[in-house]
Amino acid sequence: MERLPFSLPDMEPGQVWLVGAGPGDPGLLSLLALQALRQADVVVYDALVDPRVLDLANPAAVREYAGKRGGKPSARQPDISERLIALARLGRRVLRLKGGDPFVFGRGAEEALALVEAGITFRVVPGITSGIGGLAYAGIPATSRETNSAIAFVTGHDASGDVPDSLDWHSLAKAVPVLVFYMALKHLDRIAGQLIAAGRSPDEPVAVVSRASTPAQKVITATLGEIAAVARREAIEPPALVVVGKVVDLRPRLAWLPEDPAV
């Protein structure tokens, strides 16, 4: 790393860093994330970490995949936490690398609590969550004075893989002008239906951003009533964000990536 006018903390043996890798583009990594990549002895990484980010890791570091993808064989969360603890107890400098931000729908809190109970020293390095960075790469601002003074980030599924029963659809529909759903593609029909039933207009603009900030990024726009059918027709693949609200109407003027096709 180039010489900086300030010092960065070093990873210590027996320590775990929970680091957010951002939505994909390695240029969005923080300096602390890059420090961890270059110093770690072991990198335990998720499915959503871009390969270009992993390429920045210490060449001598051991890389361990611990990704979880819906419908596919995946590592169990308790096993991942136990692995982090075991590696730290062996004196390794452990980087737990997560897509986006570890504390935004990333289960980083669960892993941190496991480390606390095991007496393992850790550091949390925030990353740019896809609900902010991914929207920006799609030319959709999270907020704009002309459209919204509030925004909500919502998970599209719970631990069971279904739409969370705890969501208050009427409150979301009535009180929050812009909604950003993570991991919602599988249940997009149901989510759109719930919002419409709770009072959102079926004509409200919606965007789906697939593989945000990567070379494979794809963005589609449609109305709330039509977005699920359009996503199927366009063969949109996860990971994908769904944003509901008038901020989507700003995209035609703000889509700044030349290779980012408007649909």
Which residues form the catalytic set?
A: 46, 68, 183
Torsion sign over Cα 224, 227, 228, 229: positive
C-alpha angle 93-96-102 in degrees, rounded to nearest 5: 140
How far is the CA of 114 from the CAs of 83, 92, 235, in angstroms? 11, 17, 39
Cα separation of 137 and 210, whole Å?
11
Cα separation of 251 and 41, whole Å?
42
Residue 6: CB atoms within 10 Å: 5
> Which candidate, 3, 250, 51, places its Cα nearest to that of 37?
51
Q: Judge contact between 141 and 132, C-beta under 8 A.
A: no
Quote the tokens at residue 232.
């199927």
Quote the tokens at residue 192.
């759109």
Radius of gyration of the chain (CA): 19
Torsion sign over Cα 213, 215, 220, 224: negative
Whether omega before 239 lies within 30 degrees of 0, making that bond cis, reads: yes
In sequence order, what are the residues at sequence separation of 6 or more whose Cβ sits closer than 8 angstroms to the Cβ of residue 261?
A: 218, 219
